[in-house]
Structures are given as C-alpha cells and as structure tokens.
C-alpha cells in the first residue's frame, strides 16, 4: 500500500542525501518519479546534498499545486511511480494535503524530507501538517552533532556569528557560511537555550583573563 512518509531531522543530518539515494535506487529499478523542492541551497529547481550531489527538481513555489502537477504529467503520458519532496518544511499546509491526495487517489508513495522546527524551536507549518497526516514518521539515523559533541537537536540562526531568536521564519541560508552572513548551526538543546554557538565559545576562549585588582 502506498504511503506518505516524512523523514525529519536537523540541518546537516543527511536528509537531501537520503532523498537522492531513494531516487537513485528506484531509478535503477526502472521506476520514474517527480522530485519537488523549495528554496534549495543550490538555487531554484535543484535538489542538492552537502556531499556535492545535485539533481534537477521542480520548484514547488507557493502557487504550485503538487497534485495537479502530477496529474498533468500522467495525462501527457509520462510515467510517474513515486514522488520525492525535499525542504518540505517550507510547503504550505494545503500543499501537504495535496501530497496526501497523491498517495490516496493516485496510489503513489510520497517521500517528504524536512526540518521539523525552526530557529525559534517552533514547528514549521508544513512540518506540522506532515506530522498530522503522514502514514509514517522517520527520524534520520545520521545524527548531526553540536560543537560540544552531544547530539544536535535544534537549528540555530546566526547573524554576524551571533545567534538570533527573532526574525522571519524562512530565511534561506546554510551551515558553514562566513560569520558576517546569515547562517545556521545545529546545537544541542542546552546550548541552544543558552545561545552558545561555536563562534561564541571561541570568542570567550580567546578573551583575555581579567587581571586581579591589587589591594592597597
């Protein structure tokens, strides 16, 4: 039976790599799929992995009806056996409903990959709807690590190297950006709560010790 499967995890845990692997495995068996993505780090209409793998994809903008797109492909005589969606957290809830309809009405597996919560630890609307509708939820087994070595569970946004907790929910960026750019870092809950990024820790370590004040 076809399923809507939601693969979730923090940034830097291999979601896009797994999406590409699933597509490769099915393609090797003669199956053909549609790949949707939204705001990928490599640019519009791309699905990319930090390992350097890139493939073409359909940009699922806010006005894109994913169900209608797949139906149109089938109506033209194209073969569509499955659907992959990367950066699914950026989709609108109604687009997640369209994915569920693809599973139920067209009898296709849909594999959605995304981050569950934003830099403020709040659910993305798309991810929330996936949690509500998915037949199966999968947490990726490749664990991203906080700078302290603990398992990273939260995504932090940084500006000028400092963690911020205010701003628009969606600002496209990536890990390993220059400190002056808007970037992201994965942290454990403890250090996310304390706003202790790797840059902040390095800065503290480089700060000179305060000299004792000599008594008169």
Could you tell me if 55 and 17 are in contact, meaning their C-beta atoms sit under 8 angstroms apart? no
The continuous run of DSSP H or E covering 33 comes out as strand 33-37
Catalytic residue, candidates 87, 94, 138, 166? 87
Question: Known catalytic residue: 87?
Answer: yes
Which structure tokens are listed for 205? 């370590």
CB 191 within 8 A of CB 146: yes
The C-alpha atoms of residue 76 and residue 121 are separated, in whole angstroms, by 43
> How far apart are alpha carbons 106 and 115 in whole angstroms?
26
Nearest to 86 by CA among 135, 38, 142: 38
- According to DSSP, the residues that pair with 37 across neighbouring strands are 59
Active site residues: 87
């Amino acid at each position: 039976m076809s399923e809507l499967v939601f693969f979730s995890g923090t940034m830097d845990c291999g979601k896009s790599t797994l999406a590409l692997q699933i597509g490769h495995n099915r393609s090797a068996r003669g199956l053909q799929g549609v790949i949707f993505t939204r705001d990928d780090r490599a640019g519009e209409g791309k699905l990319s992995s930090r390992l350097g793998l890139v493939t073409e994809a359909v940009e699922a903008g806010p006005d894109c009806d994913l169900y209608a797109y797949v139906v149109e492909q089938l109506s033209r005589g194209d073969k569509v056996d499955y659907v992959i969606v990367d950066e699914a957290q950026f989709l609108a809830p109604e687009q997640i409903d369209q994915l569920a309809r693809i599973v139920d009405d067209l009898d296709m597996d849909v594999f959605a990959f995304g981050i569950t919560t934003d830099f403020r630890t709040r659910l993305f609307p798309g991810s929330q709807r996936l949690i509500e509708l998915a037949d199966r939820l999968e947490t990726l087994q490749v664990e991203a690590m906080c700078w302290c070595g603990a398992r990273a569970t939260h995504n932090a946004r940084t500006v000028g190297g400092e963690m911020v907790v205010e701003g628009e929910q969606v600002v496209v960026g990536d890990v390993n950006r220059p400190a002056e750019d808007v970037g992201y870092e994965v942290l454990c809950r403890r250090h996310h709560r304390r706003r202790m990024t790797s840059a902040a820790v390095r800065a503290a370590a480089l700060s000179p010790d305060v000299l004792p004040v000599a008594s008169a």
